[in-house]
Structure 1
Amino acid sequence: MLTTSDILKKVKELEIKSKRLTRHLFTGEYHSAFKGRGMSFKEVREYHAGDDIRFIDWNVSARFNATFSKLFEEERELTVILLVDVSASSLFGTVHARKKDLVTEIGAVLSFSAISNNDKVGAILFSEGIELYVPPKKGRDHGLFIVRELLTLEGKKKGTNLTQALKFLNNTTRQKCIVFLLSDFLDPDFADALRVAGKKYDVVGIKVYDPMDMNLPDVGLLDVEDAESGAITTIDTSDFLVRKSHHDAFFQHTEWTKQVFNKAGCDLLHISTKEDYVKVLQKFFIGRA
């Protein structure tokens, strides 16, 4: 159990790490990936050093024998919502971190990326029900509050109900916003709710998994407990067919989740607890720019 001083120390560490990543890696990419959407043309002006060369107006430049750039007006401030699964399966982890620890770090980075761009950020933490709702606001203190809740809150209920979380989002958030949905998606029936949310919001799913979710070690008989249902089963991990069945089930679920997001018109990232999430997020941001 974390003490108050442990919590404060960890929150400070996450703030420092998140701000460093935001400053050196994500500010430009976040800005291009999200704030550049829906920009409207404002005017043409003479090119200044540092202007984006993609916006040079070659026709005007040729006519006046000088270089001119197009200027665009950005969208108003954005709202970012973190929709975070805190069900019992998030507490599983066998390598560098639990799924919850990885989700907390990613949530911290996304929060401070939004705040550094003067955007609002809010959070909905859910399991079978809504565990916590933090309305969107600006500012460092608000970002720290969200990070502290991500770090310390554990779901009162063990299961996962993505449909209820998405419906709650729809009922509480009227304006268009960017929604980062962080979960292992151990819910067999959320396709309809995601399709509705995908029409209203810019939804980005982040599927977090542990290597053992994919591959079982060959260690003989194991008693395994389903973290969400509590069911206990004995399996023989030395049996190749048992390991293959586990492996195949993981990829079937992964493929199904991809199809659900594709049909809803939403993006989906996959990040392992042993993976460098910074590279995955940066590649995604750049790809959307």
Structure 2
Amino acid sequence: MLDIPRDNEKSFAEGKILKSMTEGVGVVTFNNPEKRNAMSLDMWEGLGQALTELRDNPEVRVVILTGAGDKAFMSGADISQFEKNRHNAQASEEYSRRSDAQRALLANYPKPTIACIRGFCLGGGMQVAMLTDIRIAAANSQFGIPAAKLGIAYSYDGLKHLVSLVGPSWARLLLYTGMRIDSAEAERIGLVDRVVADGQVWNATFEIARTISGNAPLAIQAAKITIAQALKDPDQRDMKAIKAIGTACMDSEDFREGRRAFMEKRKPHFKGR
């Protein structure tokens, strides 16, 4: 089991989404282990609420997403809801509209995000993981997109992120076959960033988050903004946004604190301004 801090814990979606915060690190837990953390519409909306509250909390500097139990990060959408919510194109469009808003929130999140993955990470779970900035996986994790086995089309945004991480050939292989791959293969093709022993994945992820939390927030924001713009086509890049955050860093109290701490050979205390 993952030893997740429970400081200031709050629940959403009747307890199936949990939010907590400790040491500047926000944690969102998909808490539906009986269904391998499959996502219902209520859970999608609860995820949006949890992410919004952590986004708006100035004490939170980085957010980890993880799954309850040791079986899954997220096994995708709750298929038992398909007959009610996704039985045809019109119903599926409404489902997508409501869940897409939460994915867009994560895609444009202003703070660093990390997926701590253990067990199954499938379908919509892979899409959520790919929307985070960093993916840390336990050695026992499995990854796949079974859309072709369900007769559904994987979303454009999900495929765009998949292709950007693993390239078009691996994206085709994963989508056409619906195959699952293990953590070692996922790391080799660039789907995850680091693989850790099963019992150490939470501690390893939290240590990375704590390191990020201790660094200068404006500098991290500058890196996040610049990388996001670099991934766009040249004519779509917002160079003014890059210049603005660079200027904000150079004029910040944190930059002065960083210089003083370096000269005084001590750990800096950044305030994000």
Same fold (TM over 0.5): no
Which structure has the larger Rg over C-alpha atoms? 1
TM-score by length of 1: 0.28
> Relative to total residues, which structure has the larger strand share, 1 or 2?
1
TM-score by length of 2: 0.30
Instruction: For CA contacts below 8 A with separation 6 or more, give which structure has more relative contact order.
Output: 1
